[in-house]
Structure formats: C-alpha cells, structure tokens
C-alpha cells in the first residue's frame, strides 16, 4: 500500500517507497517442513509481508515476517524432525483486505489431505490442524496519556498477546490452542509472559477461523489497544528502525519463543543425534 509518501520526512525512505503499485496478480510465499509420521497433517504459521509505503514496515509487519522466517530456518534444520508437517506462509495484500490469505484459503481448502499423485506419499495441501498468525510483534508501551502521547518506553507489564475469536464457529478449539501457546510461553519465554484474549480481528487468521482452530500472536490487543491509539507507529511514518529499542525487539523474540516452543510440542518435534 503506497499512500501519502511525502508524510515521511526521511528522504531515503521516501525513495524506497516511491514506486507506485501496479494492478495485477499477487503471490504468496510458503515453504513446508514435511512430517515424518503424519505428513498429511500440518500447522500453518503465517505473517503478512506487505506494508504501508509511508514507512519501513518494521513492526507492521516486518516483525511478524522475520519471526516466521526464523522459525522456518530453525525447523528446517536437518537434525530437527517433526511428526506432522508445518507450513510457513507469508501472505500478500493483508493491508488491502486480507486478500492474499483469502486467495490461499479459497484455492486450497478443498485440497486438504489429498495424496497427489496417488500412492506417492506426497500431500500438496496437508489437512489443517491449526493456523497461527503473527502481526505486529514489537510495541507494548501502554495507553496514551491525557495529552494523547504514548510513552517512548516499553511498559513494565508488557506481554505477548495470544488472541482467538469468540465469534468463531470453532471457539472452543481455538481457545484451547491459545492456552496451549500460553502454557508454552509460561515455561519457555525468557523475558515476557503471555496473555490470552478472545478478540482476534483484522488479520489473516480471521480468514481461517471458522474452518480450523486459529489464533493470532501480537504485541497487544488488536481492537481494544491498537485500534484505540496505543501504537503511534501503526500505519504512520514512525514505523521505522530508529523508533524501536532493544526492549521492543526482545518482546518480538519472546513471541518467537512462544510459537517455537508451542509448535514444537504440537508437531512432535525432536532433535536427532
């Protein structure tokens, strides 16, 4: 999304984003760790890779994209084995309306669990066990003060938010998935706890939530917090590298720890000697 280019004061970033979008086909990017005992089933780990042309999209959503790519690197190590498959997906066109994730869903939902070619042991679209989205992982600085200013510093009670959607047709299954992630965070996160909430919205996992248990990991509540002005970098010229501190990036690291540990358990991961 390229909008209001001149709102960005940094000339280097303006030049980076000057190219205008062209209408036409868009692509998603994914890779798959194939399970050893149940390759026909998989968890999907996702993040959207598009951003707004007024900034560097560091938090929205370079942070989620980097997290998914790092977990793909870890799980793809030759000494890591998983019982079920894991797909690492980067969605396009989230900012224009969840279009990339919706296209993937529409094109592939009916292909789940089908062996192709028959007898090959290959499953181009393993049956979905859960969809885990990562969208904006770095900023938890609290509510704006009375003058509307948000603190430059991360708040002491910062945490990783794990959201499911209470209006989903799979509310119970999604809630159970969310609390499995919280249990993993309680055991393995090094710096920040995780909290669970029922208001997942406005991100790619919403496309999947009535078909497969779906959750979203993020910095704070998407509706009640981000939507209420808690993050001044959201879709603004402030979403650039120089805005964020080591504490912010450490929060993103703890979100990665949450997903890594939870999915390792769920997928039956083990290290080979």
**Whole-angstrom distance, CA of residue 92 vs CA of residue 233:** 20
Burial 1-34 (b: 16+ CB within 10 A, else e): eeeeeeebeeeebbeebeeeeeeeeeebeeebbb
**Whole-angstrom distance, CA of residue 84 vs CA of residue 131:** 14
> How would residue 158 be classed by pLDDT, with cut points 50, 70 and 90?
very high
Question: Which residues have a Cβ under 8 Å from the Cβ of 140 and sit 6 or more positions away?
Answer: 154, 155, 158, 159, 219, 220, 251
Task: Find where tokens 């799980």 sit.
Answer: 75
Q: What is the model's pLDDT at position 108? A: 98
The tokens for 74 are 């870890």
Tens-digit pLDDT profile for residues 231-242: 999 999 999 999
Structural contact between residues 41 and 127, judged by C-beta atoms closer than 8 angstroms: yes
The tokens for 31 are 């890779």
Q: Which residues pair with 132 in a beta bridge?
A: 45, 215
What's the rounded mean pLDDT across residues 246-252? 98
What's the rounded mean pLDDT across residues 63-71? 99
Q: Over 90: is that where the pLDDT of 273 sits?
A: no
Cis omega (within 30 of 0) on the bond before 146?
Answer: no
Tens-digit pLDDT profile for residues 32-48: 999 999 999 999 999 99
Domain boundary assignment for the chain: 5-143+151-271
Q: Over 80: is that where the pLDDT of 2 sits?
A: no
Q: What is the model's pLDDT at position 10? A: 95
Q: What is the model's pLDDT at position 21? A: 81
With 0-12 / 13-18 / 19 or more C-beta atoms within 10 angstroms meaning exposed / middle / buried, residue 265 is middle
> How would residue 64 be classed by pLDDT, with cut points 50, 70 and 90?
very high
Q: What is the model's pLDDT at position 20? A: 82
Q: What is the model's pLDDT at position 166? A: 98
Q: What is the model's pLDDT at position 63? A: 99
Q: What is the model's pLDDT at position 74? A: 99
What's the rounded mean pLDDT across residues 52-79? 97
Number of CB atoms found within 10 A of residue 73's CB: 10
Structural contact between residues 38 and 84, judged by C-beta atoms closer than 8 angstroms: yes
Q: Over 90: is that where the pLDDT of 247 sits?
A: yes
Tell me the pLDDT of the chain averaged across its residues. Answer: 97
Superfamily holding 5-143+151-271 = Zn peptidases (3.40.630.10)
Residue of 70, 43, 65 lying closest to 138 (CA atoms): 65
Q: Over 80: is that where the pLDDT of 217 sits?
A: yes
Tens-digit pLDDT profile for residues 167-192: 999 999 999 999 999 999 999 999 99
**pTM score above 0.75:** yes
> How would residue 257 be classed by pLDDT, with cut points 50, 70 and 90?
very high
What's the rounded mean pLDDT across residues 194-203? 98
């Amino acid at each position: 999304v390229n909008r209001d280019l001149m709102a960005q004061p940094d000339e280097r970033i303006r030049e980076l984003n000057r190219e205008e979008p062209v209408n036409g086909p868009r692509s998603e990017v994914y890779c798959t760790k194939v399970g050893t005992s149940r390759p026909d089933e998989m968890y999907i780990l996702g993040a959207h890779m598009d951003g707004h042309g007024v900034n560097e999209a560091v938090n929205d959503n370079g942070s989620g994209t980097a997290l998914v790519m790092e977990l793909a690197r870890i799980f793809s190590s030759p000494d890591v084995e998983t019982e079920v498959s894991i797909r690492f997906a980067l969605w396009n066109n989230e900012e224009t309306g969840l279009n990339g994730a919706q296209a993937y869903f529409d094109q592939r939902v009916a292909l789940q669990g089908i062996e192709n070619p028959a007898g090959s042991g290959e499953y181009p679209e393993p049956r979905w066990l859960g969809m885990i989205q990562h969208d904006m992982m770095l900023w938890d600085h609290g509510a704006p003060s009375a003058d509307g200013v948000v603190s430059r510093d991360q708040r002491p009670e910062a945490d990783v938010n794990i959201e499911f959607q209470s209006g989903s047709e799979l509310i119970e299954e999604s809630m159970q998935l969310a609390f499995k992630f919280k249990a993993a965070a309680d055991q393995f996160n090094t710096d920040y706890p995780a909290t669970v909430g029922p208001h997942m919205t406005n991100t790619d996992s919403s496309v999947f939530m009535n078909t497969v248990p779906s959750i979203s990991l993020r910095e704070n509540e998407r509706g009640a917090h981000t939507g209420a002005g808690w993050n001044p970098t959201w879709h603004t010229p402030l979403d650039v590298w120089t805005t964020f501190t080591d504490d912010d990036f450490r929060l993103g690291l703890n979100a990665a720890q949450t997903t890594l540990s939870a999915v390792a358990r769920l997928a039956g991961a083990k290290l080979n000697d």
